[in-house]
Amino acid sequence: MNNDKQAGIDVRGLGKVAVLMGGASAEREVSLMSGGGVLQALHARGVDAHAFDPSQNNLCDLKSHGYDRCFIALHGRHGEDGTVQGALELLGIPYTGPGVMASSIAMDKIMTKRIWRAEGLPTPDWRLVASAAETARAFKELGSPMIVKPSREGSTIGLTKVTSVGQCEQAYRLASRFDPEVLCEQFIDGDETTCPILGQGRQASALPVIRIVAPEGNYDYQNKYFTDVTQYHCPSGLPESEEREIQQLVVDAFRTLDCRGWARADIMIRKSDRKPFLLEINTSPGMTGHSLVPMSAKAVGIDYPDLCLRILAMASLDSRQGNRNDEGASAQ
């Protein structure tokens, strides 16, 4: 195998790579699984890649140890919320995924929904609450069922599906353990789907849609990462027109937040009229054995190692947008 060129990418030109994994968020365990997979894949493609856990190492070591770029496999706080991105900007080390502002906004589900709503993109109705009493009031306004979750967490951590007003206090307390900002969201009854996006700027495009069928509709942390009972359909089995509509919607959502590189958006399709609704966008998606971006990429002939290589090749800095000399090659 020629390790100098893979998928049109100059592997040697990528330099010394740090795979950022672990961290200190509630999603540390998943991040270690993602990072381990990415590291193994990059090694398989001849990349000089090394594991780097920011919770155990000083980020300044990235500069002093001569790293040329970073693959961010961190999830949650201090990984996909703009903080690590900002540190890498100061260090001048290109990194994968969206920049500081896009990462920060996307991590905040409430800010994301405000922007999408302002831009005319469909997202379920919501309320920001600061107490159990406000949660109960939101339940009366939004109806049953209602989703209660932290505004700035991922992997369904702290999430409750509320079906009675008596559950509101416990749901609020659980969500507020992870974030002082708690989001109450109208539940959309219908098909649960997700769709990854790859690329830079106007060249970004959607990969195939995945339709998710979880036991009793409970796509929680355990069923996402540690069981095999959830069914993933890719091809989705949706009508072609619905698949195209979702793909266009997620690309619009990606561009509206000024994302770059890659991301994955979650969408519900309302059963009554087949209208899609954006739930959230993940700017550092999982890359574990159960993860969905690799599954979608595989459906169009992109295997896991080449997917990791393409994402890495798009590593960039906010200050260098428009200058592709440091970005390797496009994913397209």
Is residue 266 flagged as an active site residue? Answer: yes
- Read off φ and ψ for residue 184, nearest 5 degrees: -105, 125
Kindly name the residue from 152, 264, 284, 306 that is annotated as catalytic.
264
**Catalytic (active site) residue 28:** no
Catalytic residue among 172, 219, 225, 304: 225
What amino acid is encoded at 320 in this protein?
R
**CB of 122 closer than 8 Å to CB of 279:** no
Of 104, 282, 284, 291, the active-site residue reads 282
Distance CA 231, CA 267 (A): 16
Q: Which of 185, 191, 266, 327 is catalytic?
A: 266
Q: Is 323 a catalytic residue?
A: no
> Which member of 286, 296, 304, 306 is catalytic?
286
The residues, any chain, with a CB within 8 Å of residue 235's CB and separated by 6 or more, are: 208, 299
| CB of 234 closer than 8 Å to CB of 195 | no
Question: Is 68 among the residues known to form the active site?
Answer: no
Please give the Cα distance from 39 to 49 (Å, whole number).
6
CA 218 distance to own-chain centroid: 19
Query: Do 148 and 178 contact (CB within 8 A), yes or no?
Result: no
Bond into 122 cis (ω within 30): no
In the structure encoding, which two tokens stand for residue 330, read together? Answer: 């496009």
- What is the dihedral sign for C-alpha 236, 285, 173, 182? negative
Verify whether residue 282 is a known catalytic residue. Answer: yes
User: Which of these is catalytic: 153, 280, 306, 327?
Assistant: 280
Active-site annotation holds for 179: no
Residue 77 designated active-site? no
Select which of 27, 53, 179, 191 is catalytic: 27
Q: How many CB atoms lie within 10 A of CB 213?
A: 13
Is 27 tagged catalytic? yes
Which of 104, 155, 176, 284 does the annotation list as catalytic? 155
What distance in Å separates the CA atoms of residue 299 and residue 236, rounded to the nearest whole number? 10
Q: Which residues carry out catalysis? A: 27, 155, 225, 264, 266, 280, 282, 286
